[in-house]
C-alpha cells in the first residue's frame, strides 16, 4: 500500500473501526440457528465409525470384517490396508529442519497401531448407531508390543522403538547458545534452577471434530464439509494424499463450534473419511464422540523443562538456560509438524527482558501416545511461565517487590526496534505502559496491604503477575523455507450486488472470535458503507479467494489488511462510475454510509443501488469508454517481519486453602497491546476466553496416561475444565501501539490470554505459599500437588 | 434393536416418533432435522450442551431417554423464543457468545435460573450456570448478560 493510501487511511472517518459493535452473525448463532458440520445431511449419506486401537502399541495380525458386514445396514468395512492402496502417506517435514524425522503416516494404521485411539478400520453404515454397533463385530487379531510412554524412557538406548525403521525415538533436537556467558556468569549473585513440568492437555472444543465427504464421479470433484479453521490447508492435504488437483476439491467450513488450534491440523482419520468417499463414491460422514476426541484430537504442552535464571544482586536478570523435553506421540503432525511448541519455548523464553546470555536445548521424542500439535498460544504458556515464575521466585529471595523487579528488567518502551538473543525482532512493545496500567487497575498497593492483614488471620492470598509477549500475523518465512503448503497470504474480493449491497468474500474464517464482524467493520469504513449492507462470505474454497485461514492470531491483522486493500480498490471503482454519472472527477467525490456525492456536501448524493442499476442494467447511460469494474480484490502477506509481536501484562489474585490445597480465584486482570483495535469488545472477549483456557492449564487440565500409554481420563467427568463457578471476573484494559507492517496497524489478540494466564496464576499460588517457604513448578497445580509442595502430604 | 413409538408435546405440538429404547432425547430431537438448537458434546451429562426443557425443568438431553418423554412436554430453544428473547438479545449486545455451540442450552438454563432466582447475584449466576460449559468466553460476558437481564426484568433499567 502506498504512502498516500496510508495517509488516506489515517484521515478516514472511522464510524465502525474501534467501536464495540455487536457481531452480525451473533444474531443467528444466538437463535440456535447455526449449522455445524454434525448438522450437515446429504441425500444417501452414510456414516463412518472407527475401530480404534485399544492398545498403545500393537501389531495388527489380521482383521476379519465378515461378522460386521453381515449386519443389517452395514455397507462396508474399510481397513488401513484398503486405504493405503489409494493414499500417499504423509511425511510432516520442514525442509530447513532436516534433523526432524518424519515417519510416514497413512490415513489408518497399516500393520502396526502406534497409539491408543489410532483408527484401524472403519465401518460404513446407514446410521451412526448401526456403524458403532458393528464395530464390536470387526475382529482384530492383535500382537501386543511394548509401549513407549514416558519421553525420557523413550530416549533410553534400550527403549523399544515406535518406528522399526528409525534408529531411535529421538524425533528432533535443537540447541541454541547466544550472548556473553562469561560476562553474565561473573556478575551473577543468584542462580535459580528449577524443574518445571507442564501436563499434556487438549483444546476440548464443544463441537467435536466432524467431516462430511462426498465425491462426484462425473465431475471428479470431492466436496468436503469440515469443522476446520483452515479450509485451503485441508484442500491441499487431500490433494497430496489422494493425487487430486487442489481445485478438484471443495472444502466448506460451516459454522464451527470452537477450535482453538485443535481444528487446524490434518487428522489421519478425517483423511480416511475422504478416502472412503473416493473408494465408495458415496457421501460419508464422521462425527467424533467425546472419548474419541480425547484420544485422537491433538494434545499440547506436555513438556518437562529444567530452567535456570541468573540475576545480579540488584535483581537484574542476566541469563537464562532452558532444557526442554517433550514426547510428541508417534508422528510429527502433518502438515505443520510437532516442532513449533518446543521451538517457540526455545525462542520466546525470557524475551521481555534484555538478557546478556541465553542457551537452550530442545529434545522431542516419539512415543505411543496421541499426537501433539498446535493448541492456542503454541509454546507461549510454557515460555512465559519459565521466565515469569522464575523472576518472581528470585524477587522473593532478593526481597524485591514483584512489580519493582519487572520495572528494573523490562525492555524500556523506547528501546525498540529490538532484536533478542534468539533472533526475535520486536518492532515496538509497551511493557512499561501496560504494567503501569495494570498496577493502577488492580490497585496493587491496596491488594498488598490487604494480603498482609489477612495473613495475620491465617488467610493466605496470593498476587501474581506475568509479562506476556505473543507472536502474531506470521509472515511466510517458516512454511516457505520449510516447503510446506500452508499459506501466509490472505485474499479478499468485494463485489457490488445488483441491489446495491456488497458481498465480501475473504479467506480467513470465523470460529466465534469475531473475524466476520471485524472484516465487516473494516470494509464498511474503508469503502464508506453501512455495515449492514456488507455481507461477509467465509469458509468455502469455491467462494473465497485463496488464503491461509485462521491460525497464529492472524485473522484480523492479515485478513483485515487484505479486506482494507480490497475495500480501498472497490471504493475507487465505485467513485469512477459515480464521477462519470455525476460528470465530475473521482477525487471530488466520497462515499459515506453507502451514498456517493461531492466531498463535504450532503446534496445530490446517489446510493449504491443507483450505481448498480446503471452499471448492470443501463450501462448505455455511461460514457462509451467506461467499462465499469464492479468488483475488486485485495491480497496481503505480512512480509516485513517473521512475526508481529504483541505484548501485555496479566495478574491473578487468589486465595489458597492450605489445609485442602484448593485454590479459589478471586480476580484476574489483563492489559494488552494488540495494536489498532478494530472492535474492543471482540478483543476483550478473546482475552477473557484465552485467559480461561490458560487458567485451565494452570489448575485443572491434564490428559492422564498410565505407564502403558492408556489415557485414563477420557471424559469430561474426569478431565476438568474451568467452569463459571471456578473462574473469576476478568478485567481487561488496552494500550494501542499500531504496527507499521500494515496500513491497518492491527496485530493479533487471540492467544495472549492463554499465553500469560498460567504464569500469573502460578505466581499467585507461589506468593500465597511464601509464608511456608513452598513453591510449585508442576502444572496443573492440583490440590494434591499443592499439599505436597506445602509438605502436608508425602 | 426393537423400536417403539413415543409421543410427546414438542414445542407446543403433539408429535410421535419411532425410537429404539436406548435413544436419548437429544439424539431423538436431532434426528428430526428441524431443531438445530439441540446439540450434543460430552454425552456424559457434564457439559450441558444438550439441555432441553422437560415439563418446565431443564434436563440433560443426553441423560434422558426419548421414551422417558412419553406424554410429557418438551421444549427446545426453538419453542422458547418469546420468553428468552430479552436474554438472547442481551447475549448479542454483550458478546456473551462466541462459537454459539453452547448458547441455546445456556439460554434455557439462564432463563430457568432467573425464574427461580430473579435477584440472583453474580456469584449465584456463576453457580447456577456451572453445569453449562462454554469453552470460548471465560463466562464473564455471560454473567454480565444474565445479570443485565435480571435488572431489566425487574423493570429497573431501561435498555
> Which value does ipTM take for this structure?
0.97
- In sequence order, what are the beta bridge partners of A359? A177, A321
What is the CATH classification number for the domain harbouring B111?
1.10.150.120
A1, pLDDT greater than 70: no
Q: How many CA atoms lie within 13 A of A8 on its CB side?
A: 18
CA-CA distance, A431 to A411, in Å (whole number)? Answer: 7
Nearest CA in chain B to A750: B136
- The per-residue pLDDT for range A565-609, each reduced to its tens digit, is 999 999 999 999 999 999 999 999 999 999 999 998 999 999 999
Q: How far apart are the two ends of chain A, measured CA to CA in Å?
A: 64
- The per-residue pLDDT for range A326-385, each reduced to its tens digit, is 999 999 999 999 999 999 999 999 999 999 999 999 999 999 999 999 999 999 999 999
Same domain, B42 and B104: no
- The per-residue pLDDT for range A629-680, each reduced to its tens digit, is 999 999 999 999 999 999 999 999 999 999 999 999 999 999 999 999 999 9
B158 falls in which pLDDT band (50, 70, 90)? very low
Q: What integer is the mean pLDDT of A17-43? A: 97
Domain range for residue B31? 3-76
- The per-residue pLDDT for range A262-281, each reduced to its tens digit, is 999 999 999 999 999 999 99
Q: Is A655 exposed, middle or buried (0-12, 13-18, 19+ CB in 10 A)?
A: middle
Among the candidates B76, B103, B134, a domain finishes at B76
In total, how many domains does chain B have?
2
CA-CA distance, A787 to A772, in Å (whole number)? Answer: 11
All cell numbers assigned to B96: 456473551
- The per-residue pLDDT for range A491-546, each reduced to its tens digit, is 999 999 999 999 999 999 999 999 999 999 999 999 999 999 999 999 999 999 99
Task: Say which residue the cell 518492532 belongs to.
Answer: A427
What is the CATH classification number for the domain harbouring A51?
3.90.1170.50
A10-47 in b/e burial notation, b at 16+ Cβ within 10 A? eeeeebbbeeebbbbbbeebbbbebebbbbbeeeeebb
Out of A39, A290, A685, closest to residue B141 by CB? A685
Q: What is the pLDDT of residue B108?
A: 98
- The per-residue pLDDT for range A74-131, each reduced to its tens digit, is 999 999 999 999 999 999 999 999 999 999 999 999 999 999 999 999 999 999 999 9
What is the CATH classification number for the domain harbouring B68?
3.10.20.30
A22, pLDDT greater than 50: yes
Among the candidates B76, B100, B121, a domain finishes at B76
Same domain, B97 and B133: yes
- Residue B49 in domain: yes
- Residue B124 in domain: yes
What is the CATH classification number for the domain harbouring A521?
3.30.365.10
% of chain A residues with pLDDT over 70: 100
Same domain, B117 and B95: yes
- Residue A742 in domain: yes
CA-CA distance, A431 to A356, in Å (whole number)? Answer: 19
Q: How many CA atoms lie within 13 A of A738 on its CB side?
A: 14
**DSSP-assigned states of every residue in A650-700:** EEEEEEEETTTTEEEEEEEEEEEE-BS-S-HHHHHHHHHHHHHHHHHHHHT
Q: Nearest-5° angle of CA A582, CA A587, CA A592?
A: 75
- Residue A178 in domain: no
Least confident of A159-163, A301-305, A476-480, A776-780: A476-480
Same domain, A668 and A710: yes
- The per-residue pLDDT for range B17-53, each reduced to its tens digit, is 999 999 999 999 999 999 999 999 999 999 999 999 9
Same domain, B104 and B146: yes
**DSSP-assigned states of every residue in B26-72:** HHHHHHTSS-TT---SSSSSSS-TT-EEETTEEE-TTTSBGGGGTTS
Same domain, A30 and A42: no
Q: Which of A444, A445, A447 is nearest to A671 (CA)?
A: A444
Q: Are A108 and A279 in contact (CB under 8 A)?
A: no
All cell numbers assigned to A149: 510412554
Residues of chain B positioned with their CB less than 8 A from the CB of A129: 1, 20
Same domain, B92 and B149: yes
Kindly determine whether residue A258 and residue B137, on different chains, have CB atoms separated by under 8 Å. no
B157, pLDDT greater than 70: no
Kindly determine whether residue B36 and residue A39, on different chains, have CB atoms separated by under 8 Å. yes
CA-CA distance, A233 to A335, in Å (whole number)? Answer: 9
Same domain, B66 and B90: no
Interface of B with A in 43-82 (CB under 8 A): 43-44, 46-47, 49, 76-78, 81
Q: Does B127 touch chain A (CB under 8 A)?
A: yes
- Residue B159 in domain: no
Same domain, B101 and B71: no
Same domain, A13 and A136: no
Same domain, A775 and A692: yes
CA-CA distance, A379 to A390, in Å (whole number)? Answer: 17
- Residue A386 in domain: yes
Q: Does B88 touch chain A (CB under 8 A)?
A: yes
Nearest CA in chain A to B98: A512
Dihedral sign for Cα A116, A119, A125, A127, please: positive
Residues of chain B positioned with their CB less than 8 A from the CB of A30: 88, 91-92, 97, 100, 103, 107
- Residue B45 in domain: yes
E-strand ranges in A370-526 read 418-419, 425-426, 460-472, 489-496, 502-506
A435, pLDDT greater than 80: yes
Mean residue pLDDT of chain A comes to 97
Same domain, A631 and A683: no
Length of chain A in terms of residues written? 794
Phi, psi of B68 (to 5 degrees): -70, -15
Which of B98, B134, B137 to probe the A interface (max A CBs under 10 A)? B98
Q: A192 by DSSP, 3-state: which?
A: strand
Q: Are A174 and A362 in contact (CB under 8 A)?
A: yes
Q: Which of A542, A565, A557 is nearest to A492 (CA)?
A: A565
Same domain, A436 and A570: no
- Residue A47 in domain: yes
Q: What integer is the mean pLDDT of A459-466? A: 98
- Residue A60 in domain: yes
- In sequence order, what are the beta bridge partners of A517? none
- Residue A248 in domain: yes
- Cα A5 versus chain centre, distance: 31
Strands A284-287 and A357-365: unpaired
- In sequence order, what are the beta bridge partners of A303? A198, A326
Among the candidates A637, A663, A693, a domain finishes at A637
Same domain, A17 and A53: no
CA-CA distance, A298 to A375, in Å (whole number)? Answer: 8
- The per-residue pLDDT for range A499-510, each reduced to its tens digit, is 999 999 999 999
Same domain, B59 and B110: no
Q: What is the pLDDT of residue B159?
A: 43
All cell numbers assigned to A325: 523435553
Q: What integer is the mean pLDDT of A460-468? A: 98
Crossing angle of the two packed helices A431-442 and A444-456, in degrees rounded to 10: 50
Task: Say which residue the cell 447511460 belongs to.
Answer: A621
Same domain, B72 and B90: no
Greatest Cα-to-Cα distance within chain B, rounded to the nearest angstrom: 56
Among the candidates A275, A296, A317, a domain finishes at A296
Kindly determine whether residue A35 and residue B39, on different chains, have CB atoms separated by under 8 Å. no
Q: Are A701 and A719 in contact (CB under 8 A)?
A: yes
Strands A418-419 and A460-472: unpaired
Same domain, B72 and B84: no
All cell numbers assigned to A672: 494488552
Q: What integer is the mean pLDDT of B143-149? A: 98
Among the candidates B60, B76, B92, a domain finishes at B76
All cell numbers assigned to B9: 408435546
Domain range for residue A616? 3-34+489-637
Q: What is the pLDDT of residue A2?
A: 66
Residues of chain B positioned with their CB less than 8 A from the CB of A685: 95, 98, 136-138, 141
Same domain, A694 and A716: yes
Nearest CA in chain A to B103: A30
CA-based nearest distance A721→chain B, Å: 9
Same domain, A699 and A772: yes
CA-CA distance, A170 to A220, in Å (whole number)? Answer: 42
Same domain, A565 and A676: no
Same domain, A748 and A772: yes
Contacts of A151 (CB under 8 A, 6+ apart): A304, A325, A326, A327, A363, A365, A367
Q: What integer is the mean pLDDT of B76-83? A: 97
Q: A499 by DSSP, 3-state: which?
A: coil
- The per-residue pLDDT for range A39-85, each reduced to its tens digit, is 999 999 999 999 999 999 999 999 999 999 999 999 999 999 999 99
Taking residue A205's Cβ as centre, other Cβ atoms within 10 Å add up to 25
Q: Are B129 and B47 in contact (CB under 8 A)?
A: no
Crossing angle of the two packed helices B140-153 and A680-699, in degrees rounded to 10: 120
Nearest CA in chain A to B104: A32
Q: What integer is the mean pLDDT of A209-225? A: 96
In total, how many domains does chain A have?
3
Same domain, A549 and A400: no
- Residue B158 in domain: no
CA-CA distance, A551 to A451, in Å (whole number)? Answer: 40
Among the candidates A296, A312, A329, a domain finishes at A296
Q: Are A283 and A212 in contact (CB under 8 A)?
A: yes
Q: What is the pLDDT of residue A628?
A: 95
Amino acid at each position: 500500500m502506498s504512502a498516500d493510501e496510508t495517509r488516506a487511511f489515517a484521515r478516514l472517518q472511522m464510524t465502525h473501526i474501534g467501536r464495540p459493535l455487536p457481531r452480525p452473525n451473533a444474531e443467528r448463532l444466538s437463535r440456535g440457528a447455526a449449522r455445524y458440520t454434525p448438522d450437515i445431511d446429504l441425500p444417501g449419506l452414510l456414516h463412518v465409525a472407527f475401530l480404534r486401537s485399544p492398545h498403545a502399541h500393537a501389531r495388527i495380525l489380521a482383521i476379519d470384517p465378515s461378522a460386521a458386514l453381515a449386519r443389517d445396514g452395514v455397507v462396508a468395512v474399510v481397513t488401513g490396508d484398503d486405504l493405503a492402496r489409494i493414499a500417499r502417506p504423509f511425511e510432516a517435514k520442514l525442509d530447513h529442519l532436516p534433523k526432524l524425522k518424519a515417519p510416514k503416516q497413512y490415513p489408518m494404521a497399516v500393520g502396526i497401531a502406534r497409539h491408543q485411539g489410532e483408527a484401524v478400520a472403519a465401518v460404513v453404515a446407514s446410521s451412526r448407531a448401526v456403524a458403532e454397533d458393528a464395530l464390536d463385530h470387526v475382529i482384530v487379531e492383535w500382537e501386543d508390543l511394548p509401549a513407549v510412554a514416558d519421553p525420557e524412557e523413550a530416549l533410553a538406548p534400550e527403549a523399544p522403538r515406535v518406528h522399526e525403521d528409525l534408529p531411535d525415538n529421538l524425533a528432533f533436537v535443537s540447541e541454541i547458545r547466544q550472548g556473553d556467558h562469561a560476562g553474565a556468569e561473573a556478575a551473577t549473585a543468584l542462580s535459580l534452577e528449577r524443574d518445571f513440568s507442564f501436563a499434556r492437555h487438549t483444546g476440548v472444543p464443544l463441537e467435536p471434530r466432524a467431516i462430511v465427504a462426498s465425491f462426484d464421479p462425473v465431475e471428479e470433484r470431492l466436496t468436503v464439509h469440515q469443522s476446520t479453521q483452515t479450509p485451503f490447508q485441508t484442500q491441499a492435504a487431500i490433494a497430496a494424499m489422494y493425487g487430486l488437483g487442489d481445485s478438484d476439491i471443495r472444502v466448506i467450513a460451516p459454522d464451527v463450534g470452537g477450535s482453538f488450534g485443535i481444528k487446524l491440523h490434518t487428522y489421519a482419520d478425517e483423511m480416511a473419511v475422504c478416502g472412503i468417499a473416493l473408494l465408495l463414491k458415496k457421501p460419508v460422514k464422521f462425527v467424533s464422540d467425546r472419548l474419541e476426541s480425547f484420544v485422537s484430537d491433538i494434545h499440547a504442552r506436555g513438556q518437562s523443562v529444567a530452567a535456570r535464571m541468573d540475576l545480579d544482586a540488584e535483581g537484574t536478570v542476566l541469563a537464562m538456560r532452558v532444557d526442554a523435553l517433550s514426547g510428541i506421540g508417534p508422528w510429527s503432525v502433518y502438515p505443520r509438524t510437532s516442532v513449533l511448541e518446543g521451538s517457540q519455548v526455545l525462542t520466546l523464553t525470557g524475551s521481555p527482558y534484555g538478557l546478556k546470555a541465553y542457551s537452550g536445548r530442545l529434545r522431542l521424542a516419539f512415543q505411543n501416545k496421541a499426537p501433539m500439535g498446535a493448541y492456542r498460544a503454541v509454546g507461549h504458556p510454557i515460555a512465559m511461565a519459565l521466565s515469569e515464575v522464575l523472576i518472581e521466585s528470585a524477587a522473593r529471595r532478593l526481597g524485591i517487590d514483584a512489580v519493582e523487579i519487572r520495572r528494573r528488567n523490562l525492555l524500556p518502551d523506547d528501546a525498540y526496534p529490538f532484536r533478542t538473543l534468539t533472533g526475535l525482532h520486536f518492532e515496538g512493545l509497551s511493557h512499561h505502559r501496560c504494567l503501569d496500567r495494570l498496577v493502577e487497575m488492580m490497585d496493587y498497593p491496596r491488594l498488598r496491604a490487604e494480603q498482609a492483614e489477612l495473613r495475620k488471620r491465617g488467610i493466605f492470598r496470593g498476587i501474581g503477575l506475568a509479562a506476556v509477549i505473543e507472536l502474531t500475523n506470521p509472515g511466510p518465512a517458516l512454511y516457505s523455507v520449510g516447503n510446506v503448503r500452508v499459506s501466509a497470504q490472505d485474499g479478499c474480493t468485494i463485489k457490488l450486488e445488483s441491489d446495491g449491497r456488497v458481498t465480501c468474500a475473504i479467506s480467513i474464517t470465523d470460529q466465534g472470535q469475531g473475524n466476520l464482524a471485524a472484516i465487516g467493520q473494516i470494509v464498511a469504513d474503508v469503502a464508506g458503507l453501512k455495515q449492514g449492507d456488507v455481507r461477509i462470505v467465509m469458509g468455502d474454497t469455491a467462494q473465497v479467494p485463496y488464503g491461509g485461514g485462521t491460525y497464529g492470531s492472524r485473522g484480523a491483522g492479515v485478513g483485515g489488511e487484505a479486506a482494507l486493500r480490497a475495500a480501498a480498490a472497490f471504493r475507487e471503482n465505485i467513485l469512477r462510475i459515480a464521477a462519470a454519472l455525476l460528470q465530475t472527477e473521482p477525487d471530488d467525490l466520497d462515499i459515506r454510509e453507502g451514498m456517493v456525492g461531492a466531498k463535504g456536501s450532503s446534496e445530490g448524493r446517489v446510493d449504491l443501488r443507483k450505481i448498480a442499476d446503471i452499471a448492470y442494467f443501463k450501462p448505455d447511460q455511461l460514457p462509451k469508454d467506461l467499462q465499469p469494474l464492479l468488483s475488486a480484490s485485495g491480497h496481503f502477506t505480512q512480509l516485513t517481519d517473521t512475526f508481529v509481536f504483541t505484548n501485555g501484562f496479566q495478574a491473578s489474585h487468589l486465595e489458597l486453602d492450605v489445609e485442602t490445597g484448593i485454590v479459589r480465584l478471586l480476580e484476574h486482570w489483563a492489559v494488552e497491546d494488540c495494536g489498532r483495535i478494530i472492535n474492543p469488545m471482540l478483543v476483550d472477549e478473546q482475552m477473557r476466553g484465552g485467559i480461561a483456557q490458560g487458567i485451565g492449564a494452570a489448575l485443572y487440565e491434564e490428559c492422564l496416561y498410565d505407564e502403558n500409554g492408556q489415557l485414563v481420563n477420557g471424559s469430561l467427568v474426569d478431565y476438568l475444565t474451568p467452569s463459571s463457578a471456578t473462574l473469576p471476573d476478568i478485567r481487561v484494559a488496552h494500550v494501542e501501539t499500531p504496527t507499521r507492517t500494515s496500513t491497518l496497524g492491527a496485530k493479533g489478540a487471540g492467544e495472549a490470554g492463554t499465553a500469560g494466564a498460567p504464569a500469573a496464576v502460578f505466581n499467585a499460588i507461589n506468593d500465597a505459599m511464601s509464608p511456608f517457604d513452598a513453591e510449585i513448578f508442576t502444572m496443573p497445580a492440583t490440590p494434591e500437588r499443592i499439599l505436597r509442595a506445602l509438605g502436608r502430604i508425602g | 434393536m426393537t423400536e417403539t413409538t413415543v409421543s410427546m408435546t414438542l414445542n407446543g405440538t403433539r408429535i410421535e416418533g419411532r425410537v429404539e429404547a436406548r435413544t436419548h432425547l437429544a439424539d431423538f430431537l436431532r434426528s428430526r432435522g428441524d431443531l438445530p438448537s439441540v446439540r450434543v458434546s460430552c454425552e456424559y451429562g457434564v457439559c450441558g450442551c444438550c439441555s432441553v426443557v422437560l415439563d418446565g425443568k431443564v434436563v440433560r438431553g443426553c441423560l434422558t431417554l426419548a421414551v422417558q418423554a412419553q406424554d410429557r412436554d418438551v421444549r427446545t430453544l426453538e419453542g422458547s423464543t418469546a420468553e428468552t428473547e430479552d436474554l438472547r438479545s442481551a447475549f448479542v449486545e454483550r458478546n456473551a457468545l462466541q462459537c454459539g455451540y453452547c448458547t441455546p442450552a445456556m439460554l434455557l438454563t439462564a432463563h430457568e435460573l432467573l425464574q427461580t432466582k430473579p435477584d440472583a447475584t453474580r456469584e449465584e449466576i456463576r453457580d447456577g450456570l456451572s453445569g453449562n460449559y462454554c469453552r470460548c468466553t471465560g463466562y464473564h460476558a455471560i454473567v454480565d448478560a444474565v445479570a443485565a437481564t435480571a435488572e431489566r426484568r425487574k423493570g429497573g433499567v431501561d435498555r
